[in-house]
Structure 1
């Protein structure tokens, strides 16, 4: 892993930046075969668009990584019935970092700050869904997420935030 990028700021997303989530959702889609390039319109599918559609509702929360005025990544949670749904009290987490900026510790910073913020909000746990073949699976395990429910290709993972 290279050093964390200099002058990187992790902050809450501004409403004028919500459109950045379109790119982040697209970047978050994992395809094992690197020769396959998905069309950008794929995020319009109902099972995907719900991760960003009408973002900014009461319980939506997003952090972005910004450097020199450019957004490089985002991490957000929503209470939706998505791929990582556990229950109505557990928000589902999504995260992506732009190509060319991965492997620099941005994801780690985003996740660390998000976990702290979710604890501050008194949430008990957070969930996500990740493909078994995705390098992110090991990343999330390293950061305290555990397998909750596995299917043939993907795994729902959870992280306890507050001891009950």
Structure 2
């Protein structure tokens, strides 16, 4: 029997090379020219198996009303910032077009799940029916998701999305939507989950999930 080998930097680079070679050809024709995006996406798929943190236990649960203030931090973390050297000020979330995602959270049609590890909330996914960046109509909940950087690339974000999609389906919603920056590696995760592009702006894709079908 062959021994299972831990993934190291060299093997991860080989996986990235093979992945790009395959999925940039027919029938996929994906654009993986952004190597940083490719790296983050691969790490999200396989996780960092050599890290003790990647083996940590976590659970996805409902976020309690007294924990909703945490959404202020997670909203800021959810902002895609390509330039990590010059980050946006924290006060940016007070802008009306962002604050709408968390203001007075807890109303009808507001739903929130969180990821907890070692008694600490490390990520959150929430939905609201609002006129946000990913709004498509007045009955479809729009997603927002955020995970602290050190916990990314371990599949936690995917699990949170799956749990929320199942929750929305159980509540009787027919669709769910979101917006994502075209350069954000999370775009590929949304595609793998089953979200489809239904519109776009110069910088973002508007995506929709059909909840009438089986949730992955």
Q: Could you state the TM-score of these two structures normalised by the residue count of structure 2?
A: 0.73
Give 1:5 shift: 4.5
Q: Paired residue for 2:149?
A: 99
Comparing both chains, which one has the higher relative contact order based on Cα–Cα distances under 8 Å and sequence gaps of 6 or more?
Answer: 1
Give 1:108 shift: 1.0
Asked if residue 34 in structure 1 is aligned to residue 84 in structure 2, the reply is yes
Give 1:51 shift: 0.1
Give 1:7 shift: 2.3
The equivalent position to 1:138 in structure 2, one of 147, 166, 188, is 188
The equivalent position to 1:90 in structure 2, one of 140, 147, 160, is 140
Q: Paired residue for 2:123?
A: 73
Q: Secondary structure at the match of 2:183?
A: coil
Q: Secondary structure at the match of 1:117?
A: helix
Asked if residue 117 in structure 1 is aligned to residue 117 in structure 2, the reply is no
User: Cα 1:24–1:5, aligned 2, differ >3 Å: closer, same or farther?
Assistant: farther
**Per residue, is there more strand in 1 or in 2?**
1
Q: Paired residue for 1:62?
A: 112
Q: Paired residue for 1:17?
A: 67
Q: Secondary structure at the match of 2:150?
A: coil
Q: Paired residue for 2:208?
A: 158
Give 1:148 shift: 0.9
Q: Could you state the TM-score of these two structures normalised by the residue count of structure 1?
A: 0.96
How many positions carry a matched residue from both structures? 163
What do the CA deviations read for 1:59-101 (whole angstroms, capped 9, x no partner)?
Answer: 1000000011100100000000000000011110000100101
User: Cα 1:160–1:5, aligned 2, differ >3 Å: closer, same or farther?
Assistant: farther
- Distance in 2 (alpha carbons) for counterparts of 1:100 and 1:68: 14
- Distance in 1 (alpha carbons) for counterparts of 2:152 and 2:83: 18
Q: Secondary structure at the match of 1:7?
A: coil
